[in-house]
Structure 1
Amino acid sequence: MRVTNHCWSQSNLVHFFGFSHHLRVLNFVSGYMSKLDAESCDNVKVTDTVFDGVQIRIFDPIEKRDKTLKRGVIYLHGGGWTLEGARMRTYDQLCRAVAEGVNAVVVSVEYRILPDVHFPEQLNDALHATKYFLQPDVLAKWSVDPNRIALSGDSSGGNLAAAVCQQLIQDGNAVSKIKLQALIYPVLQVLDFNTPSYQQNMDMPILRRFLMAKFWLHYLNGNSKYVEPMLVNNHTSFDVSQAVALRERLNWSSILPSGIQKHFKPVVQTVGTPELIQEVPAIFDVRASPLIAEKESLKLMPKTYILTCEYDVLRDDGLMYAKRLEDAGVEVTNDHYEDGFHGCMIFADWPLYFSVGARTRDNYIKWLDENL
């Protein structure tokens, strides 16, 4: 979700004058001169293809470390369910690095985006592409070991990866198991915009709280007029019956350690905005908010890696998911960066280089290599 306030303002201006939908403009501006063709190099063969109607870019390491089958990583890019990613320079670089560093065939999924489709179509694309890749004949074609496959994604892609993983576990027709899930600063819930990290980092550059709420409303096909009610948690007020059980699963005052909670207090309204719930019923859909899954479902999740950053509104989404998974008996690695910010992993190469970007990418690849 690496979107600058300047790009967002430009896109809103074009939308205001009726030239184009502002999300299309946003995607064009962010992707201008940034999309790459499928160019192979000495170490990685890059191929554009289609899996069950979904656009895919595959990164296949050319030189094997040994004669065994390669590992597989299904990658779902971020961008607020709005920005194309698989062909963007930043994701192309990341997937090449993963393919080389892990000796893995990386399947980067170019799922359909806003405003052309809304929830659950992005998830459906990700799920269909994943199931297609997991077929024995497809894995054999790419020389991938069916027992060594990871599902991964960042930001909104982390949301899709977690949701796909939950869907696969419940699907008896899944032809192969996911060994690992690796989530990079994932967005995992739409019910509480006043977690400590949302309050602490509400105006932090790269991803402000207001912008995240707008992304959510676009994704769930709701009207942007509900941004302000959502920011004060009117959609999970005491008079909303659907929120009662779910609120306990998001009770960060009991889930998060006191050092994370700091001086922040929960925000729960007595009376909410009922029309918001009526017009955006997907707010309570577990496929949109994987964090609110029942404990019985979480018990079936695979070994998990969750990367979180201190200066990120989504920090506590990741921390709470890690704790809920651990409480359900899942082995979890929480890789937290005190100097990290949302989207930092893409700033790992010149000219957009931050040391924390390089460290997050290197440690993510190292974890995959050691555990997959």
Structure 2
Amino acid sequence: WRAYHLRTSTEKSCKQPTALSFTPLQGYILEKLGICSMPRFVRFLQDRLTIKNNREVVVTDLRFGTIPVRLFRPKAASSSLRRGILFYHGGGSLFGSLASSDTRAHPRVLAPLSLRYRKAPEHHYPVALTDCLNASIHFLKTLEAYGVDPSRVVACGESIGGGAVALITQTLVGRRDLPQIRAQVLIYPFVQAINLQLPSFQQNQNVPFLSLQLMMTCVCSYLAIDLSWKGAMLKGACIPRDFWKKYRKWLSSDNLPKRFRSKDQQPETLAPFNEAAYLETKHILDVEHAALIAEDKIIAQLPEAFLVSCEVDMVRDDSLLYKKRLEDQGVRVTWYHVEDGFHGCLVLFDKKLFSFPCSLNIMNALVNYIKGL
């Protein structure tokens, strides 16, 4: 009953008329009229959001090559080097901007750097990940210029940005020419698009703000996959049997804690293998798109992690599988599960009338964790 109450109350709250729900609707109308695409309209508005005046923080817009970044620094002088935070925003590769991530410039967090990567549908993989990686490397090479302690750099991201954190920290493993990332913070991250039959996918596919339809649109747009293959992807028809046999140990719901496995859920079953679907979608099986299936020797070298999962979230189980993946290789994980949380709720932090308790709770947990490093 408690789970039902949490789910229905969150769904009702999310369905209230907010700017977040009206903006995509207006975008869809403009798209139907042939004026501009919905993602472009939403990003246009996000880019023009006014930066909130915070007397404690200096905001500076920069460019690392062609990549726009926004640096937040406390005005108060410091006698020592500060923490540095690389922040990768969410938005499913379609949405998000520097302005939309300004709420993360919490004065207690200290010196975050937010970057804006290029997005779908204009740009497909690997553009967004390459932008994030290049900007991260540039920042790591120039920490002294920003007064950042090389031993206290944190990579932080939400949603697809959390997936970027996982992939970037894996990519940087073994780089001796760069300062080592101190910790990785993954907020309800996407870490795979292979097993789309996990319990959370079945339980939460119609919950705002991330529905199954929106998620598949984002995945297919980012990976340049025609949406007509959505059914094959959902049923696992594009997964070769030898691949599933090899990686099931990391991808299966068998790896989830029992309380997240409902008796009513449908068992994971792969539809008959469809070679045409495989050839059109096979890049979802690459480790460059699925941090969860990285080799043990890579996972074992990753920095400690702070992992946020939300109960009412279609990708909740991605977080749980990645948590187990890290812990099995001896990586320290601090897990923060939000019973009344939903995907994207951190975006509503400090939005006053439209804010949720879970948003503030996640922000406070993040701040406390980072301050403790």
TM-score, normalized by the shorter chain, greater than 0.5 = yes
The equivalent residue for 1:72 is 84
**Amino acid in the other structure paired with 1:93:** T
Closer, same or farther: CA 49–317 of 1 in aligned 2, 3 Å? same
1:269-288 equivalences in 2 (<5 Å): 269-288=270-289
**Amino acid in the other structure paired with 2:108:** G
Deviation at 1:36, TM superposition (A): 2.6
What is the CA RMSD across the aligned residues, in angstroms?
2.2
Distance 1:108 1:24 in 2: 20
CA contact (8 A) 1:52 1:132 kept: no
Deviation at 1:10, TM superposition (A): 5.0
The equivalent residue for 2:129 is 123
Does the alignment pair 1:202 with 2:209? no
Aligned-partner SS, 1:55:
strand
CA contact (8 A) 1:52 1:128 kept: no
The equivalent residue for 1:19 is 35
* Superimposed CA distance per residue, residues 287-332 of structure 1 (whole angstroms, 9 cap, x where no aligned partner): 2111111222110110100000000001100011011100000000
Aligned-partner SS, 1:234:
coil
Distance 2:218 2:345 in 1: 19
Closer, same or farther: CA 270–231 of 1 in aligned 2, 3 Å? closer
CA contact (8 A) 1:56 1:107 kept: yes
The equivalent residue for 1:44 is 57
Deviation at 1:50, TM superposition (A): 0.8
Does the alignment pair 1:35 with 2:49? yes
The equivalent residue for 2:75 is 62
Aligned-partner SS, 1:190:
coil
Q: TM-score when scaled to structure 2?
A: 0.89
CA contact (8 A) 1:197 1:314 kept: yes
Aligned-partner SS, 2:308:
strand
CA contact (8 A) 2:236 2:271 kept: no
Does the alignment pair 1:93 with 2:103? yes
Closer, same or farther: CA 125–273 of 1 in aligned 2, 3 Å? same
Deviation at 1:23, TM superposition (A): 2.8
Q: For 1:153, which of 149, 152, 157 is the aligned residue?
A: 157
10-19 or 203-212, which deviates more: 10-19
The equivalent residue for 2:355 is 353
The equivalent residue for 1:217 is 220
The equivalent residue for 2:319 is 318
CA contact (8 A) 1:193 1:209 kept: no
Distance 1:86 1:240 in 2: 42
* Superimposed CA distance per residue, residues 141-176 of structure 1 (whole angstroms, 9 cap, x where no aligned partner): 111100000000000110111111111114x35411
CA contact (8 A) 1:182 1:305 kept: yes
Closer, same or farther: CA 270–280 of 1 in aligned 2, 3 Å? closer
Does the alignment pair 1:163 with 2:167? yes
Paired residues in the alignment total 354
**Amino acid in the other structure paired with 1:272:** F
Distance 2:241 2:38 in 1: 32
**Amino acid in the other structure paired with 1:158:** G
Distance 1:143 1:11 in 2: 41
1:243-254 equivalences in 2 (<5 Å): 243-253=244-254
The equivalent residue for 2:144 is 140
Closer, same or farther: CA 9–222 of 1 in aligned 2, 3 Å? farther
The equivalent residue for 1:108 is 114
Distance 1:305 1:293 in 2: 19
Aligned-partner SS, 1:169:
coil
Deviation at 1:251, TM superposition (A): 1.6
Distance 2:118 2:319 in 1: 25
CA contact (8 A) 1:86 1:109 kept: yes
**Amino acid in the other structure paired with 2:152:** R
**Amino acid in the other structure paired with 2:317:** D
Distance 2:275 2:25 in 1: 30
Deviation at 1:12, TM superposition (A): 4.5
Distance 2:328 2:19 in 1: 34
Deviation at 1:348, TM superposition (A): 2.4
Q: TM-score when scaled to structure 1?
A: 0.89
**Amino acid in the other structure paired with 1:69:** L
**Amino acid in the other structure paired with 2:371:** D
Unaligned runs of at least 5 residues, structure 2: 1-17
